[in-house]
Amino acid sequence: MINHDNLEEYRDPINYDLEFGGETNKYNFYLDMARLNPGEVLELACGTGLTTIHLSKSGIHITGVDISSSMLEYARVKAQGLPVDFIEADARTFDSEKRFSMIYLTGNAFQAFLSDDDQRALLETVYKHLESNGIFVFETRNPLGTDLSNQEESIWGNFIDKDGIKVKISGTQSYDSSNQIMHWVTIRDWGSEKTISRIACRFTDNDTLQRLLTSRGFCIENQYSDWDKTPFTPLSPSIITVCRKHGA
């Protein structure tokens, strides 16, 4: 089941890009992965196409899939004239005749799949749409390298919005340890108004993650802690996983 609260974060695509864009090291990591595995690429949960468009501008033929129509609408505006297709679909049920040399998720999107069934459905989509020996790449926050304590409202940062206004960002977090789900509430303060959005993310430890991937037909080739390909360690804040499809 989709947690519809998660979609609140994606109501304002232009300001979303201004708040979360500019992660050049990440974009180049996925570009390098695509170049090492020539062919067509699929990004699931692509949002406004921040990474998708970066790859497309470098000549990669890529398809972006997302469940949010507003995010995709803005992605299409930005991608005019580029070799990229955007499709509105749920990554758990997406179905295409195409097969891809590489499939990836970024922005910790793997954590939006909140149940065992959701994770399995996502991986079935990936396995089905990968070419034989294709690669699957994604990152997720590492629970052992993350502060999972419950926290009252605190300052998180700021960004400059599309009208040049400095927006202050604060929020709270509450962790449901029985389901490994963090609930974040984000408060954005424009001075004249405030918005509140909620998002839920599941934290899967690396041992569980490795068992899950192996059980769904993937062989893990590398795990990194950052976009510079520093090897993963148990307390790294991120788990960046590169795995390959086994079988036909």
Q: Are both 119 and 198 inside the same structural domain?
A: no
CB contact at 8 A, 189 and 168? yes
Say how far apart CA 203 and CA 114 lie, in whole Å: 9
Nearest one of 14, 57, 29 to 162, comparing CA atoms: 14
Q: Are both 179 and 158 inside the same structural domain?
A: yes
Q: Are both 227 and 178 inside the same structural domain?
A: no
Q: Are both 63 and 131 inside the same structural domain?
A: yes
Q: What is the CATH number of the domain that holds 220?
A: 3.40.50.150
Q: Tell me how many domains the chain contains.
A: 2
C-alpha separations of 233 from 82, 112, 148, 213, 216 in Å: 38, 23, 18, 18, 24
Domain residues for 183? 145-202
Q: Are both 36 and 151 inside the same structural domain?
A: no
Per-residue pLDDT of the chain (248 residues; tens, 9 = 90+): 344 445 565 578 888 888 889 999 999 999 999 999 999 999 999 999 999 999 999 999 999 999 999 999 999 999 999 989 999 999 999 999 999 999 999 999 999 999 999 999 999 999 999 999 999 999 999 999 999 999 999 999 999 999 999 999 999 999 999 999 999 999 999 999 999 999 999 999 999 999 999 999 999 999 999 999 999 999 999 999 999 998 65
Say how far apart CA 60 and CA 39 lie, in whole Å: 8
Q: Are both 189 and 213 inside the same structural domain?
A: no
Can you list the positions of beta strands (E) in the chain?
41-44, 62-66, 84-88, 100-105, 130-141, 151-160, 166-176, 181-189, 194-202, 218-224, 238-245
